[in-house]
């Protein structure tokens, strides 16, 4: 089977992980990089050890016939035009989150991908974290019963030392705490609990710490989510916290609870007196090198090869983003917001 050609637009920090993930896949080959500057493209190619075509013109990269996949690793305000153009060119997509910075742009990407019939993955990369996979297995095995309350929280201080800080603080690029970072947590809540979120309510605040000066929106939010069947969930997102990175998962079921890698199950372990610890790799770092991009890239390649849709394709990720936009609207207007928007 011929290798799938990959073109990557954006040459920042996370782009390196996309390059390495596809370059190490036996069924894919990195054939082009696109950057705002020729120097940026050359530097990233050299850093990652790839020999490929280098572009500063995205349209010219899309015209390269041996490219099958476009990986978009630019800031979110660039995504709509880049993703729509890629879909119209018949290219499969790996799209970094956030998908876009407005609901209209997110909808435009969804519609373009649907019309083109290309395969897609949105980079909620934690879905391939081993803890996520263990939790999904436990839930499928009915270890804790029906989950009626879930918490997934994102605590990660994103200050000047973090590479996305310069654009993350801007309202028209980072948009909100939830969209720029906490969307991983909201996506996790959806992934674990299943079903549709039908109503959200958000409150927000700003700690005002000197290390986080410059944010044009409240860096800390708390969002309550109501599901169609009456179950509820909560997502906290703080990108101004002064602490080590914490990604908290707490799922409360009818006969047990999962708390990160801790399990309490009356059904599976009768007589259990304390938490059972499952040794595994946790989502406990904001460093992109810690995340399983290799598995994400392999998943997209497999979906293309076998003509099947991903569990985190554009259509699914649209639902996570819609909930984020609705939550931020709730926070702005001080009222519950119903979905769909």
**pLDDT in the model for residue 11:** 95
Q: Break the chain into its structural domains and give their ranges.
A: 4-125+294-311, 127-286+320-338
Question: Under CATH, which number does the domain 127-286+320-338 receive?
Answer: 3.30.360.10
Best CA proximity match to 157, nearest among 281, 259, 285, 325: 285
**What pTM was computed for the model?**
0.96
**What does the pLDDT average to over 254-263?**
98
**pLDDT in the model for residue 69:** 98
The tokens describing 43, both together, are: 């530097």
**What does the pLDDT average to over 197-202?**
98
Best CA proximity match to 246, nearest among 289, 275, 286: 286
Residue 24 is classified by DSSP as T
Beta strand ranges found along 103-160 (DSSP E): 120-122, 147-155
**What does the pLDDT average to over 127-134?**
97
**pLDDT in the model for residue 288:** 81
State how beta strands 256-259 and 246-253 pair: antiparallel
Beta strand ranges found along 131-178 (DSSP E): 147-155
Is CATH 3.40.920.10 what the domain over 4-125+294-311 is classified as, yes or no? Answer: no
pLDDT per residue as tens digits for the range 262-312:
999 999 999 999 999 999 999 999 888 889 999 999 999 999 999 999 999
Distance CA 147, CA 325 (A): 25
Instruction: Reply yes or no on whether the pLDDT at 235 is more than 90.
Output: yes
What share of the chain has pLDDT > 90, as a percent? 97
Instruction: Reply yes or no on whether the pLDDT at 115 is more than 90.
Output: yes
Concatenated DSSP letters of 235-265:
EEEESS--SS-EEEEEEEETTEEEETTEEEE
The tokens describing 200, both together, are: 């959200």
Average pLDDT of the chain, as a whole number: 97
Determine the distance from the C-alpha atom of residue 105 to the mean position of all C-alpha atoms in its chain, rounded to a whole number: 17
């Amino acid at each position: 089977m011929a290798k799938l050609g990959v073109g990557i637009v954006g040459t920042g920090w996370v782009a390196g992980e996309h390059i390495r993930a596809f370059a190490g896949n036996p069924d894919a080959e990195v054939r082009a990089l696109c950057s705002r500057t020729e120097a940026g493209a050359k530097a990233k190619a050299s850093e990652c050890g790839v020999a490929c075509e280098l572009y500063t013109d995205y349209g010219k990269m899309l015209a390269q016939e041996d490219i099958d996949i476009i990986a978009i690793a630019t800031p979110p305000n660039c995504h709509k035009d880049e993703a729509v153009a890629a879909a119209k060119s018949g290219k499969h997509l790996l799209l970094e989150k956030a998908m876009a910075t407005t609901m209209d742009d997110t909808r435009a990407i969804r519609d373009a991908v649907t019309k083109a019939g290309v395969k897609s993955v949105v980079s909620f990369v934690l879905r391939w974290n081993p803890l996520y996979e263990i939790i999904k297995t436990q839930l499928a095995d009915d270890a804790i019963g029906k989950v009626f309350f879930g918490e997934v929280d994102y605590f990660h201080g994103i200050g000047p030392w973090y590479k996305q800080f310069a654009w993350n603080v801007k309202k028209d690029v980072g948009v909100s705490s939830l969209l720029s970072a906490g969307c991983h947590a909201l996506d996790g809540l959806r992934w674990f609990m299943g079903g549709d979120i039908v109503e959200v309510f958000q409150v927000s605040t700003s700690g005002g710490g000197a290390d986080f000066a410059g944010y044009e929106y409240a860096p800390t939010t708390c969002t309550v989510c109501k599901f169609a069947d009456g179950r509820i969930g909560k997502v906290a997102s703080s990108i101004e916290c002064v602490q080590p990175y914490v990604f908290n998962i707490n799922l409360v079921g009818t006969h047990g609870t999962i708390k990160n890698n801790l399990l309490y199950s009356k059904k599976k372990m009768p007589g259990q007196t304390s938490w059972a610890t499952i040794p595994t790799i946790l989502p406990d770092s904001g460093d992109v090198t810690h995340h399983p991009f290799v598995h994400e890239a392999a998943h997209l390649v497999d979906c293309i090869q076998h003509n099947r849709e991903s569990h985190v394709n554009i259509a699914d990720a649209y639902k996570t983003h819609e909930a984020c936009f609705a939550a931020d609207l709730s926070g702005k207007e001080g009222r519950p917001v119903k979905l769909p928007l």
